[in-house]
Chains A and B, each alone.
Chain A
């Protein structure tokens, strides 16, 4: 089954404790992206990657890091999480091309205390 898998689905942690949210896709997609969803703001793009070793900032990259060492994986790293990063996070992938829709994971709800 074609899918985007995120782990963990839920996490409660404390300020400053480094965490990683993993994302893996089995569709051989070149493009992957991370979003955060906040009430009234919709989905905002954090980082995206056009292919292995190629990443770029989205609209809200501050406080986040990513890496793309393999085509299927695109982890999101919070080196020193803060309460304003409490949010619902989605990973997505698609084939390259303007008209290609994204496939989303089921989300990771992070609470930073």
Chain B
């Protein structure tokens, strides 16, 4: 049973519009969440994170929102750019040592 779920395998967005990637989790003890971006033939790279004591974290065009009651987080990219086309993984650090990833969402940003 996947504890971190990304239910949308892919998302297509027009350049300049907002991209919203979603992630759900099942374990209320998860206390830290991260988003990674992955291009083909490369390893994932860290994008942005959020602690469970916050509900929002912003870094330039990227904002992550956390809704603890719904066990849901989302990544907003505004404005979307063609270079943002990649696979995005949601992940949670559990107990400080284990990491659980979602299945990923492939984002296509059309020029």
Which of A's residues lie within 8 Å of B, judged by CB? 4, 31, 33, 35, 40-45, 48, 50, 56, 58-59, 90, 92, 96-99, 101-107
Q: How far is the CA of A97 from the CA of B51 in the complex (A)?
A: 12
Residue in contact with B89 in the complex, picked from A42, A58, A59, A97, CB distance below 8 Å:
A42
Report whether A102 and B103 are in contact in the complex, using a CB–CB cutoff of 8 Å: no
Report whether A45 and B98 are in contact in the complex, using a CB–CB cutoff of 8 Å: yes
Residue in contact with A106 in the complex, picked from B42, B46, B97, B103, CB distance below 8 Å:
B42
Name A38's closest neighbour in chain B (CB-CB): B103
Report whether A105 and B31 are in contact in the complex, using a CB–CB cutoff of 8 Å: no
Report whether A59 and B100 are in contact in the complex, using a CB–CB cutoff of 8 Å: yes
Q: How far is the CA of A42 from the CA of B104 in the complex (A)?
A: 6
Chain B residues whose C-beta falls within 8 Å of the C-beta of A48 in the assembled complex: 97-99
A94 nearest CB across to chain B (Å): 9
Chain A residues whose C-beta falls within 8 Å of the C-beta of B103 in the assembled complex: 40-42
B49 interface residue (CB < 8 Å to A)? yes
Name B3's closest neighbour in chain A (CB-CB): A59
B17 interface residue (CB < 8 Å to A)? no
Report whether A44 and B101 are in contact in the complex, using a CB–CB cutoff of 8 Å: yes
Chain B residues whose C-beta falls within 8 Å of the C-beta of A58 in the assembled complex: 98
Name A103's closest neighbour in chain B (CB-CB): B46
Chain A residues whose C-beta falls within 8 Å of the C-beta of B101 in the assembled complex: 35, 42-45
